[in-house]
Amino acid sequence: MEALNPHSVLVTGSNRGIGLELVKQLARKSNPPEWIFATCRDPEGPHAQDLKNLAAKYKEIVIIPLNITDPSSIRSAVTMVTEKLSGTGLNLLINNAGISKFSAKLEFEAPEDMAEVYKTNVIGPMMISQAFLPLLRKASEESSEKGMSCSKASIVNMSSHAGSITDVYLWELAQVASYRCSKTRPRNHKGTTKNQGSPKSNVAALNMLTRCQSLAFSEVEILCVAVHPGWVQTTMGGSMAEITVDSSVQAILNLLAHLSEKDSGAFLNWEGKILPW
Ligand code: NDP
């Protein structure tokens, strides 16, 4: 049976919400990773207390300061992680940190918000993946496992169904164009045009980045996927959200355990279903 057994995992934005729960459930596994790098942009700030309490209980958790939009912060984080890993690679990178700027109506969407959301949700994961690529490559090269898996070497981008051009998920609730554009979906992972929506779906953002990563890093057997976690009860998801953070993360970890090379470049929901364009 497939299992999720990475030696090392790094989660961005892990001081609250889905990121914190990912770290919690990874640490509570019967066979936890040896290293869980729980990164957050302000470990000394008021929103990091839950993570600090958790790290005090589990020796596997190492808190690393990391602002995903700041190149010097990224460089320092890579140095700290490399030191801890002392010669081994990084198996699983979860680009979880993200923001959403609320705008009820597209006519009021601010260009500054559009730029900030793009910078955090797209450029951030791109820079993080580039910076940790040498460690991911090392993990892949040094593994005796055949094919691809999230235990061997993988980049998981936390995306959103809100970016689906076909579904325009929850439009009636919030138009949030800046967020939708940042997460917009590319062609499907098989590279075909079946079920494709607007031709605009050939370009753009986090999901297209995932598809590009899957192509660029297939040679070194790094599995790359975009995952929609569900509409989750977090600060971002709000209290009306459909699923708890606990059930979302349980399902995501179960999903990651079952992914292989056939899934690289895909956009899946927390239950493993391929979503429409
Ligand atoms: P939250 O708003 O609860 O948490 C967001 C996390 O991202 C926080 O830890 C925050 O840190 C961090 N973050 C934001 N910007 C940066 C940055 N520049 N550098 C480092 N960390 C940063 O969101 P969720 O937990 O709900 O969402 C996690 C991911 O899942 C996001 O990518 C989101 O788009 C995606 N998602 C969530 C859905 C939901 O319903 N909740 C639905 C679909 C997708 P800080 O405390 O410092 O602000």
Higher-confidence residue of 106 and 71: namely 71
* pLDDT band for position 181 (cuts 50, 70, 90): confident
Average predicted confidence (pLDDT) for the chain: 90
pLDDT at 7 over 90: yes
94 with 12: CB under 8 angstroms?
Answer: yes
pLDDT tens column, 117-141: 999 999 999 999 999 999 999 999 9
Query: Ligand 1 within 6 A of 231 CB?
Result: yes
Query: Ligand 1 within 6 A of 217 CB?
Result: no
Higher-confidence residue of 174 and 192: namely 174
pLDDT tens column, 55-102: 999 999 999 999 999 999 999 999 999 999 999 999 999 999 999 998
* pLDDT band for position 174 (cuts 50, 70, 90): confident
CA distances from 89 to 73, 135, 248 (A): 20, 5, 28
ipTM reported for the complex, 2 dp: 0.99
pLDDT at 35 over 80: yes
Pocket-testing residue among 236, 270, 275, ligand 1, by greatest number of atoms within 8 A of Cβ: 236
The Å distance, Cα 21 to ligand 1 centre, comes to 12
| Predicted pLDDT at 180 | 82
Atom 31, ligand 1: which residue's CA is nearest? 98
The Å distance, Cα 99 to ligand 1 centre, comes to 5
Query: Ligand 1 within 6 A of 96 CB?
Result: yes
Whole-number percent of the chain with pLDDT over 70: 90
Pocket-testing residue among 18, 101, 270, 275, ligand 1, by greatest number of atoms within 8 A of Cβ: 18
The Å distance, Cα 121 to ligand 1 centre, comes to 9
* pLDDT band for position 151 (cuts 50, 70, 90): very high
The Å distance, Cα 18 to ligand 1 centre, comes to 7
pLDDT at 199 over 80: no
* pLDDT band for position 161 (cuts 50, 70, 90): confident
Atom 33, ligand 1: which residue's CA is nearest? 98
* pLDDT band for position 104 (cuts 50, 70, 90): confident
